[in-house]
Amino acid sequence: MTKAAELAKMGEVLTNSQIGGRRNLIINGNFQNWQRSTSETGLGASAGYFTADRWRISTANSAGRFTMNRTAGDPDGFNYGLVINCTTADTSVAADEILLLQQKIEGQDVQHLKKGTSDAESVTISFYAKIVGSATDFVVTLYDNDNNRFISKLFTFTTSWVRYYFTVPGDTTGTLDQDTSSSLELWFWLHAGSNHTSGTLQTSWGSDTNANRAAGIDSIYSSTSNEFYLAGVQLEVGSQATPFEHRSFGEELALCQRYALVIGNGTSSVPYVGQGWGASSTQVIALIDLPTTMRATPSYSNGGANGVSIIDGLGYGSASSSFSISTSVSTPQSLFVDITRSAGGLTADKNYYLRTNSASDYILIESEL
Amino acid sequence: MVQKAKYIKNIEGLNDSIIATIDNKEWSVPLDSANRHYQEILEWVAKGNTIEEAD
């Protein structure tokens, strides 16, 4: 590139991109945080969050199944990526089938895009991807969940890691709500039936027409040889992709914990997670202070084979199979866990601690979108 | 998918949360319309299902 061209390029970047500050609107775009699990098998029957923080699986009506794992070492500069491997093929595709990898973004975090105004900002999506197998063509969609509008682009991936780009022009129609609900969503289409593929791919902003959502894609479920790899996902303001914004593990974890917190799960010792007191001979109430304010009042679940114990100062414990557990007076900052032991044996006004029962047990506290 | 749901009362005797089985996992779900599990339960109720009353 000549010096003049280089200066022109720099000027373009300065004009059209966000310089400095936090650029990447995607949380855990580098797949550093896997609080729930680094490997899950037999996925595809239901939607939800299973492995990498903030990355959601959306699925409907397919017999196809897959594993979702953490990968290491590729591409250069990234600790981890994500891989989806088809384990049960589905070549008899019903019209309403889908499989998507999604990330949903709160409305209050995308107000600076000025969407729905005459000053609407362009954004650029960038990511590293590669495939194994015969399915090479997949669609990436930016979806406006407040106004049911979207724009898509078809990509052809290869067996080598490549960084791909998708610059999305500002949309002057449809403002995004300033709230804690999902407003903007990034979708990776991996499988779809004719309800979503029979039209023409919508490559400019427009209202949601199902048939135009994923026209032209292959299916990851076409063969059990298919694998889809993803790393370094970034969504930023401007018409230029800048280098991936590497945030520290701690920064990224704190961002993830606004949506999900896992205590335990593979730690070498069992963590004490809350301090409580006996309310009666059958009930202990324990307070869990959350490390960051969550998006909404969270749900609570025990995981692992043995759940939690309550411990007094002498080390007495009881297996959670003896308990019923619920939460009350919960807020996005803290929650009370009510532990009821109908067999009795607890002591009112005595101090107790809540902890997981073994190193493989965990508590999941969640307020995902 | 919600499989069953039951209200839990707080110490004042008011419905305060729901114990629900969703996708074969048991959750304690707050009555917060922004919570995705509570949204799922409300959709399940809209399809004709019922949340069991608290004990």
DSSP A245-260: ----HHHHHHHHTTTE
Which pLDDT does position A253 carry in this prediction?
Answer: 97
| Residue A84 tokens, joined | 């989806």
What's the pTM value of the predicted model, to 2 decimals? 0.92
Q: Provide the CA A338 distance to its chain's centre, in angstroms.
A: 29
**DSSP 8-state code for residue A107:** G
At B27, is the pLDDT very low, low, confident or very high (cuts 50, 70, 90)?
A: very high
Q: Given an 8 Å threshold on Cβ–Cβ distance, is A299 in contact with B27?
A: yes
Predicted pLDDT of residue A273: 84
Beta bridge partners of A296: none
What confidence score (pLDDT) does residue A157 get?
98
With a cut of 70, which residues of chain A have pLDDT below it?
1, 5, 7-20, 266-268, 313-322
Pair of tokens at residue A302: 């025990």
CB-based contact A328 B29, cutoff 8 Å: no
Q: With an 8 Å Cβ cutoff, are A299 and B26 in contact?
A: no
Is the Cβ of A19 closer than 8 Å to some Cβ of chain B? no
**A36: Cβ contacts below 8 Å, ≥ 6 apart:** A49, A50, A51, A53, A260, A262, A265, A364
Tens-digit pLDDT profile for residues A126-143: 999 999 999 999 999 999
What pLDDT does A15 receive?
56
- Residue ranges in chain A assigned as alpha helix (H): 3-16, 194-197, 249-256
Summarised one tens digit per residue, pLDDT across range A112-131 is: 999 999 999 999 999 999 99
Cα dihedral angle (A19, A24, A209, A138), rounded to 10 degrees? 110
Cα distance between residue A313 and residue A215, in whole Å: 62
- ipTM of this complex prediction, to 2 decimal places: 0.95
What pLDDT score was predicted for residue A309?
A: 76
What secondary structure letter does DSSP report for A175? P
Tell me the nearest-neighbour CA distance from A297 into chain B, angstroms: 6
Segment among A247-251, B8-12, B49-53 with least mean pLDDT:
B8-12
d(CA B48, CA A19): 52
Contact A327 B26 (CB under 8 A): no
The one-letter amino acid at A24: N
pLDDT at A24: 97
Q: Which two tokens stand for residue A300?
A: 């609570």
Chain B: residue whose CA lies nearest to A294:
B35
- pLDDT score, position A328: 80
Q: What is the pLDDT of residue A20?
A: 65
Residue A11: per-residue pLDDT: 63
Residue A213: which residues within 8 A CB-CB, separation 6 or more?
Answer: A139, A141, A150, A152, A189, A192, A196, A197, A202
CA distance from start to end of chain B: 24
Give the three-class secondary structure for B24. Answer: coil
Cβ of B26 and A180 within 8 Å?
Answer: no
- pLDDT, residue A344, reads 86
Indicate the residue type of A94. A
Count the residues in chain B.
Answer: 55
Size of interface A-B (CB pairs under 8 A): 57
Q: Which run of H or of E encompasses A215? A: none
Count other Cβ atoms within 10 Å, centred on residue A286: 22
B16 in reach of chain A (CB within 8 A): yes
In this predicted structure, what is the pLDDT of residue A302?
86
